[in-house]
Chain A
């Protein structure tokens, strides 16, 4: 993701809320502090298909917004 971002491509990491601090810190460490993080509720493991779908519903609008920013 970092490499894609550095090359000017749109790239984002999907991150559950519990991992937000680690995600932000890693983006800073790798020199891309503005790397977009698409935030979804924690957890990611042990979910039913409907719960996975609900997380996708949270993630997709954030992705659409990111792509809009690019235009």
Chain B
């Protein structure tokens, strides 16, 4: 299964070295996040922190509302954002992949626009736009802005997936008599799932970590996890920032495993 073939001894060692370094670069920060969430003082020149406390976790447990209500709200909100983003991205990517349609270049440009401008400018522009078209509900405006912001990433993933052999397979399935829902469930979705997965994940993470956008458009009404976490990061509350960071990460992991579970279900269905 290993895609990299061992090419001699040196190649093998290099492969192992890089693989382990890569692994460490992922795991070490996590380890420090965990360590820092208990650390009060990290005195120079000690190698490890010298003073520990449970203050951050006590504080988070005390702020039950922040922990359960706001975190759950954030997760559900971001899940809905990702769901909507993937749906919109699906339509956009489908349009971009059809032949003989006009205005593809313009659509691609517009979709990718939010990447090209700084987040603050995007937020201010979005706020003025929403005020002008009289959408005052902060939940709706934040939702729409998150979708717009995550869309370019999701579209590029899905377009990648569609531009491959997908069309050929779909045509083949149609020839063999598959139509409508059956075609979608049996052929399109399983083929596209490996691309939907990262698109969904990406949208979720982008939505969860939006601070400026949520703050400015939500006006403090939409209380997401990042809105609680970022002030602690800014004020140098190392242990609280780390502890909230861990909650943040675990929500992403949870979604990852859920999607992974779904993928296994879908792939088995195909086979």
Report whether chain A binds chain B: no
B interface residues (Cβ-Cβ under 8 A, vs A): none
